[in-house]
Each structure stands twice: as structure tokens, then as C-alpha cells.
Amino acid sequence: MNSNRMFSNPFSKEYWHQAMADFKNLRILVFAALMIALRIVLKPVGIPIAADLRINAGFFVNAYGAMVFGPVVAIFAAAITDTLGFLVYPNGIYFLPFMLTEIAGSLIFALFLYRTEVSTTRIILSRFCIDLFVNVLLNAPIMALYYTMVMGRSYVLFDLLRIIKNLAMFPIESLLLIIFFRLVIPPTRKIGYIVSGTEKLRFTKKTGIIMGLLLVCSISLTAFYAIHTYNTTSFSASYTAEERLTRNTEMTEWARQEGPYGDELVVIIESARSRVGAKEMTYELALYRLDRDVLAGETDLSEETVRGYSKSKAAKEPSLTRIGSAIALTDKKSGEHLSMTITPDERAAGGA
């Protein structure tokens, strides 16, 4: 090692000078190569926690290596690990932006653990930052880009299930990482790779308070996102073809009772929303007049097919002419019809 100097934070020139010096240290580079090899070997190895929940064993090696060789080496080690890991265990198509999550995770571990007195607080904070900022916030747009560019389909930007999984894993991973460091720091210090001891790796009341506060923060953020998603997401987007036909037909029959419309009326649900705690479901409806003569010329379509259209398909259908819109309220539990307010489209020619 170039020196035994320790830093309380990474916000100094000396810290980065030391990190660059370690990047030129042959002994450190050999150690980094060993960590890269271990991470690749352990890539498919996981510790099962519960159904669909597992801890990848490589993250222990990632944290350990970052503590020893620092942020500069960590960036290059993560990039090499990501590339070689795909070559050894190919899974789908290689997508370069995924490397950013590897780099970000290694960098965060290094910023919290390199050349400092490793403590339970630092380990907990490092794991929390990775789960929140890397696994959730950074990974989401990368996954969306991957699905768009490679798979040609859309992706839910912030998957609630993914957020909950990371929330559930955070305290478990933190505790396991603290135990792991208590085991590996003494021999690592003995051979001169680090200066830190294990004096601050005890489970204390402070440890519990910090983890509890971060857990409350995680739960609050997840709850806020879940409520926001529920309040702003249209349930109609998830309708099956059969459900869409059934609900469109139900709204069509209801609208005929509310206005002077005949059997040419077709109602299409454009959105179905509710709010957390609300008793009503709010439907935004588009009212169309069906031209059966035009429909007859489309030999591959039936009237039933048209009545089961989604918002986008209905807007492009030649046999449908928009004649108005409506807002309908139903009881969320029973489905009872509460009210419907119809607004005729003044620009539409003719009548229903």
C-alpha cells in the first residue's frame, strides 16, 4: 500500500490521489483481478431467502474488493466483470448500458468503505443507496431502454414488485454484509491491504435505529409510489379482450338508457380510474355511431369485434364516427351504476 492514511469522506483531492495511486499499484491490481474472477465464478450462485428472493453471492466479493482497491479500480473492475460475466454466462443479448449498474454499485461500495474505518453505519448506508439509487432508480430506465431497443415492447418504468423485493432484501443484505466484514477484515488487515479494524462492526442500538429509519424511509417511498401508481393508472389498460367487450357492452347499454341513442351506438372505455380510499370507479367513455354499411365492406370484421375495441383501435376504425364523450361513476365494490354525464360532440355531423 502507498500509505496507511485514512479518510473520513471521499470529498478531498488527497482521497482521489490515493485512489489513483492504488490504480497503479501492481499488488492492488493483482488483488482486483482475483476479485473479478471470484465475482464471475459466483455470478450464478445465490442464497435463497424466500420465494423469488435470493442474494447473489457476488455482491459480498464486490463490497470486499471495493473496500480494498477503491473507487478508481472499482469502476474498471466492474466494467470488466460485466463484460466477462456475459461471455462466460451468456443470457440473451449483451446490452452495454447494463454495465452502468455494475459500475454504480461498485463505486458506491468504494465511496463508503475505501480507506476509512468500516462501520455498521457505512455498510448499511452503502447497501441502502445501492438498493434505492442503483437497483430501482438507475436500473428502471435502463430496463425500459432495453425492452424498447432489443425486445421491441414496453416496460413498466418503476415495477412495484421490483421495488418491494429490494425493500425486503435491504435489511437482510446489510446484516449479512456486516457479518461478512467482521470475518474478512482481520486477515485482510494482517496482510496489509487495509487499515480498518472491526471495532465499529458491532450490532448496537444505534445500528437498529439507523436501519429502522432507512426501512421506514423505504416503506414510505414505496407506499407513496404505490398510491400514486394506483391513482393514475387506468385499469382498462389491463383488460383482456373478453373483459373489454363485456365492459364496453355494459357501458353501451347504460348510455342508451341515458340518452336518445339507438342500436347504432357503440361506447368505448378510454380509461377506468379510481383513487385509494375512494368508493367509486370513474370511467371516461367515447361515444361512437356505428355505420353498418361501412362495416359490411370490411369482410374481416364483425360488429362484436368493433364493440370490443380499445381506445386507439376505435379512433382509427372507419365504421365508427365519434359523437360524444361521457363520464360514468360506478360503485367500486358492487359495480352498481351511480351516474353518467354525457357530452355530445358538436362537431360530429348527424345524430345517433
At residue 44, the pLDDT reads 82
The architecture CATH gives domain 13-232: Orthogonal Bundle (1.10)
**Per-residue burial over 262-297, b = 16 or more CB atoms within 10 Å of its CB, e = otherwise:** eeebbbbbbebbbeeeeebbbbbbbbbbbeeeebee
Other C-beta atoms lying within 10 Å of the C-beta of residue 341: 11
At residue 7, the pLDDT reads 93
Q: Cα separation of 134 and 62, whole Å?
A: 14
Neighbouring-strand partners of residue 265: 289
DSSP sequence for 155-216: --SS-HHHHHHHHHHHHHHHHHHHHHHHHHHHHHHHTTS----STT----HHHHHHHHHHHH
| Nearest partner of 210 among 186, 181, 178, 183, judged by Cα | 178
At residue 349, the pLDDT reads 46
CB under 8 A, 24+ apart: contacts of 207-211: 207/120, 207/121, 207/124, 210/120, 210/121, 210/124, 210/125, 211/124, 211/171, 211/174
The pLDDT > 70 percentage for the chain reads 93
pLDDT tens, N- to C-terminus, the chain (352 residues): 446 789 999 999 999 999 999 999 999 999 999 999 999 998 888 766 655 567 788 899 999 999 999 999 999 999 999 999 989 988 778 889 999 999 999 999 999 999 999 999 999 999 999 988 998 888 888 888 888 888 777 666 566 777 777 777 888 889 999 999 999 999 999 998 998 999 999 988 888 899 889 888 888 887 887 788 788 888 888 899 999 999 999 999 999 999 888 889 999 999 999 998 899 999 999 999 999 989 888 767 888 999 999 999 999 999 999 999 999 999 999 999 999 999 998 765 444 4
CB under 8 A, 24+ apart: contacts of 44-53: 44/89, 47/176, 49/169, 49/172, 50/168, 52/165, 53/165, 53/168, 53/169
At residue 5, the pLDDT reads 85
Q: Cα separation of 49 and 55, whole Å?
A: 7
Contacts of 92 (CB under 8 A, 6+ apart): 150
Q: What is the pTM (predicted TM-score) of this model?
A: 0.74
> Side by side, which strands form the sheet with 337-344?
265-273, 280-290, 320-331, 337-344
Residues shown for the chain:
352
At residue 155, the pLDDT reads 64
At residue 352, the pLDDT reads 42
At residue 351, the pLDDT reads 45
Reduced to 3 states (helix: H, G, I; strand: E, B; else coil), residue 4 is coil
Backbone angles phi, psi at 42, to 5 degrees: -85, 0
Q: How is the chain split into domains, by residue range? A: 13-232, 235-344
| Nearest partner of 74 among 114, 115, 110, judged by Cα | 110
Q: What is the tens place of the pLDDT at every residue in 169-214? A: 888 889 999 999 999 999 999 998 998 999 999 988 888 899 889 8
